[in-house]
Homo-oligomer: A and B are copies of this chain.
Amino acid sequence: MEGYKRVYRLLFVGGDGRQLRAANRAAENGAKISVLGFSEENTQKMPESVSRLENINDREFDYTAVVLPLPYTTDGENINAPQMKRKLPVTELFQKLPAECCVLAGKCDSTLRKLAESKNITLIDYFDREDLQILNAIPTAEGAIQIAMQEAPFTLHSSKCLIIGNGRIGKILAKMLHGIGAEVTVAARKRKDIVQVFAYGYKSISTGELYDNIGGYDIIFNTAPSLILDFDLLSKTRRDCLVIDLASKPGGVDFETARKMGIKVIWALSLPGKVAPHTAGDIIGKTILSILSELEAR
């Protein structure tokens, strides 16, 4: 979509196939790519121009940005690099980075922010970006639909689906479910969301009305980031209703109560990387290019 004028030099450190895909995408857009933390086998399908490093040579460091994976760490200590033979502590990596360089990482925490600050490194969390969040809503919604199709003994077509929440995921999920032929109702708190749902042609319901209506759905998708499906609502839900919770921890469903009631709940987290790793990698790649282009425009 955009024209990237400068040649970016990017070092991707760690991650799985998604980061290689992101690196590939950047390479296709003309960036010069180095990767660290991947085996020869994993990188053999990459363009020849990509150089695979075993170590950071801090003397010749000349990168526009260093790209860390999403999330940048899974254990709080080492870079998340499942394809790397040895562990690479985050602190070790940052020692090798020159001051005032630029690091792009997913799900930055205060530890990382302090490390970056101490060397005056520009640290940008690409997972925080609204464009990435919107794009990630696409594989998340598709993943939710895939799970629903796998679990439900009936078709989504003409099934009664309730989506709780009219945010990024709720909106695209509503569109896709409607596109398959489901009867979509969206529950929202704010009046502006309720009328927007109406404008888009789906049924709407205010969260306050859920208690009296929740028994009428075949599938409930929760996208709201708080405990919505509590004891009261679950007790009015049909026992054969399928519940798919897309809310991040602690989740939007009282799982224990649902289990006791015999209501099947699937808590589906981090769907993009699981159901569509290529797309997930492409999204990271696009977002990184978009960040670099904005940095350049400053």
Contact = CB atoms under 8 A, between A and B. Distances in A.
Interface of A: 1-2, 130-131, 134-135, 137-139, 142, 145-146, 149-150, 152-158, 172, 175-176, 178-181, 191-192, 194-196, 198-201, 204, 206, 275-279, 282, 290
Given A181-B176, A206-B1, A138 B157 contact: yes
15 contacts: A131-B191, A134-B196, A135-B195, A135-B199, A138-B155, A142-B149, A145-B149, A152-B276, A153-B277, A155-B275, A155-B276, A175-B181, A176-B180, A178-B179, A181-B200
A64 B62 CA distance: 69
Nearest to A290: B191
Contacts of A139: 155, 157
Contacts of A155: 138-139, 142, 275-276, 279
A209 to B, nearest CB: 8
Q: Is the interface of A mostly helix, strand, loop or mixed?
A: helix
Given A146-B150, A279-B155, A1 B194 contact: yes
A275 to B, nearest CB: 7
B276 A154 contact: yes
A180 B146 contact: no
B199 A172 contact: yes
A273 B192 CA distance: 21
B158 A198 contact: yes
A181 B181 contact: no
Contact of A142 (B156, B278, B279): B156
B153 A276 contact: yes
Given A135-B195, A138-B158, A145-B180, 10 more contacts: A138-B157, A146-B150, A153-B276, A154-B276, A154-B279, A158-B198, A172-B200, A176-B180, A178-B179, A181-B201
Contacts of A194: 1, 131
Contacts of A276: 152-155
Contacts of A200: 172, 175, 181
A154 to B, nearest CB: 4
Contacts of A195: 131, 134-135
Contacts of A149: 142, 145-146, 149, 275
Nearest to A276: B155
Contacts of A204: 1
A79 B104 CA distance: 59
A200 B276 CA distance: 18
Contact of A153 (B158, B196, B278): B278
A239 B169 CA distance: 33
Contacts of A176: 157, 179-181
A154 B191 CA distance: 22
